[in-house]
Amino acid sequence: MSKIWIDFKLAGGIFLACLLVFVAFDRIDVFWYLYTATILFLISYSIINEPPDNEAATKQYITYGILSGSALYGLFFAADWMLEIMPGHLKTQVDNIYARFTFDFFWHYLVLIFIIIPGEEIFWRGFILKRLMDWMNPTAAILAGAFLNAAAFYFTGYSILMIAAFVSGLAWGWLYIWKRSIPLVIISHLTFDLLLLIIFPLQ
């Protein structure tokens, strides 16, 4: 009976994430408000149903987090360079995303650092991936978790977001299963986003 209930909570979380992400990206004019509210809701849903893990030492998760986030940014930087010389519209999508989802106000930076980045990791790794591991082996769980993370961005109209979510989901999923530490993947995600969106944007 408990397994059925756990599966119901997992399915409900996935459905709510896809629905709320769609609503947020459908309203560009109030995106920052809606996506912040989405992540706050998903944080609450996750913590109520699954307490977060932290089995890595503080010094360890900071070091591994910075190194892994920087390495992932390097991978995306190389991929962006390849998009420049490849046919197709993916590079155009990258430019459009930077143009449409700009940091217009100081509070945008604050919610990115203190709500969106931690919240995405608490939900996608600390809840979804952790639940998937109850049903499948770690490799399959990482793949499934990354796929679901990517699927949440399907209705945004940006296939490059799906690709980015899948690749980063693989990296952070492996990192989470390796050390079972949510703070570790949050530091990695924070390092990656600061490089990608603020310090060295791909434009």
Looking at the domain assignment, is residue 45 inside a domain? yes
| Count of domains observed in the chain | 1
> Domain range spanning residue 12?
2-51+62-199
The pTM assigned to this predicted structure is 0.92
Looking at the domain assignment, is residue 143 inside a domain? yes
Looking at the domain assignment, is residue 56 inside a domain? no
Q: Does residue 66 have a pLDDT over 60? A: yes
With a pLDDT cut of 90, the percent of the chain lying above it is 74
| Neighbouring C-alpha atoms within 13 Å toward the C-beta of 106 | 0
Looking at the domain assignment, is residue 78 inside a domain? yes
Q: What is the pLDDT of residues 43-59, one digit of tens each?
A: 999 999 988 777 666 77
Looking at the domain assignment, is residue 104 inside a domain? yes
Q: What is the pLDDT of residues 35-45, one digit of tens each?
A: 999 999 999 99
Higher pLDDT, 167 or 101: 167
Q: What are phi and psi of 54, to 5 degrees?
A: -155, 85
Looking at the domain assignment, is residue 46 inside a domain? yes
Q: Name the token pair of 136.
A: 């499948």
Looking at the domain assignment, is residue 57 inside a domain? no
